[in-house]
Amino acid sequence: MSLFLSNIPIKDIKIGMKATYSQTITDTDVKAFAGISGDRNPVHLDEIYAQNSRYKKRIAHGLISVSYFSALFGTRLPGEGCVYASQTLNFKRPIYVG
């Protein structure tokens, strides 16, 4: 993860502007998120359990990926000082660990 801060005034944000953020979700991330959230579903933490699930291997918690919105909005577009207030989510595919 690289930390790149931007500070775009809200009046300068236009339709079509883009920002990107990339992060590999590691085993450590999943275990930390399980501890913080209390979601210890074995599909996230137990390799054997996950192999026998419909996913065939461990998946990250969906809300880990959602939490990266905070990094995107708070550091890239619009940037410093931004706090997002709401969202609507549809998870299309699992996010695998690693």
How many distinct structural domains can be found in the chain? Answer: 1
Summarize pLDDT for 14-57 with one digit per residue, the tens: 888 887 778 899 999 999 999 999 999 999 999 999 999 999 99
* Residue span of the structural domain in which 10 resides: 1-98
CATH number, position 55: 3.10.129.10
d(CA 61, CA 54): 15
Query: C-alpha angle with apex 29: 27 to 31, nearest 5 degrees?
Result: 70
Which pTM does this prediction carry? 0.76
Summarize pLDDT for 50-95 with one digit per residue, the tens: 999 999 999 999 999 988 888 787 777 776 777 777 789 999 999 9
d(CA 21, CA 71): 8
Would you state the structure tokens that stand for residue 81, as one six-digit string?
């000082």
